[in-house]
A = this chain, B = another copy of it.
Amino acid sequence: MPFPTPTPADKFTFGLWTVGWQARDPFGDATRPPLDPVESVHRLAELGAYGVTFHDDDLIPFGADADERAKQITRFKEALEATGMKVPMATTNTFTHPVFKDGAFTSNDRDIRRYAIRKIMRNLDLAAELGAETYVFWGGREGAEIDAAKNVGDALSRYKEGLDLLCQYVIDQGYGLRFAIEPKPNEPRGDILLPTIGHALAFINELEHSEMVGLNPEVGHEQMAGLNFVHGVAQALWHGKLFHIDLNGQHGPKFDQDLVFGHGDLLSAFFLVDLLESEGYDGPRHFDYKPMRTEDIDGVWASAAANMRTYILLREKAAAFRADPRVQAALEASRVDGTLVPTLAHGETYHDLVADVDATFDVEAAGARGYSYAQLDQLAVEHLLGTA
Interface pair B114/A356, CB less than 8 Å apart? yes
Given the complex of chains A and B, what is the CA–CA distance between A112 and B108 in angstroms?
A: 47
- Interface flag for A310 (CB, 8 Å): yes
A376 to B146, CA, bound (A): 9
Least Cβ–Cβ distance between A144 and chain B, in angstroms = 8
Whether the pair A380, B268 counts as a contact (CB closer than 8 A) is: no
Question: A residues 361-388 with Cβ under 8 Å of B?
Answer: 361, 363-364, 366-378, 380-382, 384-387
A128 adjacent to chain B (CB < 8 Å): no
- List, in ascending order, chain B residues with CB within 8 A of A336's CB: 108, 148-151
Tell whether A47 is near chain B: CB-to-CB under 8 Å.
Answer: no
- The reply to whether A370 and B299 contact each other, CB–CB distance below 8 Å, is yes
Residues 17-39 of chain A, each 1 if its beta carbon lies under 8 Å from chain B, else 0: 00000011111111100000000
- Check A213 for interface membership: any CB of B closer than 8 A: no
A67 smallest CB distance to B (angstroms)? 17
Q: Contacting chain B: which of A68-76, A83-91, A252-260?
A: A252-260
Please, what's the 1-or-0 string for A319-336, where 1 marks a CB less than 8 Å from any CB in chain B?
A: 000000000000100111
Whole-angstrom distance between the alpha carbons of A175 and B345 in the complex? 25
Could you say which of A5-13, A99-107, A129-137, A280-288 contacts chain B?
A: A99-107
Complexed CA–CA distance, A108 and B332 (Å): 10
A77 in the interface, Cβ–Cβ < 8 Å?
Answer: no
A154 within 8 A of B: yes
Select the residue from A141, A203, A251, A265 with max chain B CB neighbours within 10 A.
Answer: A251
CB-based contact A101/B227 at 8 Å: no
What's the nearest-Cβ distance from chain B to residue A344, in Å?
A: 6
Judge whether A123 is part of the interface by a CB distance below 8 angstroms: no
Could you tell me the distance in whole angstroms from the C-beta of A256 to the nearest C-beta in chain B?
A: 7
In the assembled complex, the Cα of A101 lies from the Cα of B293 at a distance in Å of 7
**Contacts A147-B271, A253-B226, A373-B292: A343 and B30 contacting too (C-beta < 8 A)?**
no
Q: Name the residue of chain B whose CB is nearest to the CB of A206.
A: B239
Q: Tell me if A262 counts as interface (CB < 8 A to partner B).
A: yes
| B235 and A370 contact, CB distance less than 8 A | no
Which chain B residues lie closer than 8 Å to A24 at the CB level? Answer: 24, 26
Q: Count residues of chain A with CB under 8 A from any CB of chain B.
A: 168
With a cutoff of 8 Å between Cβ atoms, the chain B residues found around residue A223 in the complex are 252
Count identical subunits in the complex.
4
Chain B residue at minimal CB-CB distance from A240:
B206
For the complex, what is the distance from the CA of A23 to the CA of B356, rounded to whole Å?
A: 30
Partner of A368, one of B296, B350, B378: B296
CB <8 Å contact, B235 and A188: no
Instruction: Confirm or deny: A195 has a beta carbon within 8 angstroms of a beta carbon on chain B.
Output: yes
Q: Is the CB of A227 within 8 A of B196?
A: yes
Tell me, yes or no, whether A48 is within 8 Å of chain B by CB: no
Residue of B nearest to A98 (CB): B367
Distance, CA A382 to CA B173, complexed state (A): 47
Report the bound CA distance from A262 to B379 in whole Å.
Answer: 12
Answer whether residue A341 sits at the interface, using C-beta atoms and an 8 A cutoff.
yes
Chain B residues with CB below 8 A from A147, complex form: 228, 230-231, 267-268, 271, 274, 380
Please name all residues of chain B whose beta carbon is closer than 8 Å to the beta carbon of A113 when the two chains form the complex.
Answer: 343
Task: Give Cα A350 to B252, complex, Å.
Answer: 41
A 347-363 contacts with B by CB, 8 A = 350, 353-354, 356-358, 361, 363
Which 4 interchain pairs have the tightest Cβ spacing? A386-B386, A296-B370, A198-B199, A198-B198
Other than A185-B226, A196-B198, give 20 A-B pairs with Cβ distance below 8 A: A26-B255, A99-B363, A101-B293, A118-B358, A146-B377, A147-B231, A147-B271, A149-B334, A151-B337, A152-B235, A202-B235, A251-B252, A254-B255, A255-B256, A264-B267, A265-B267, A295-B373, A306-B377, A309-B378, A385-B386
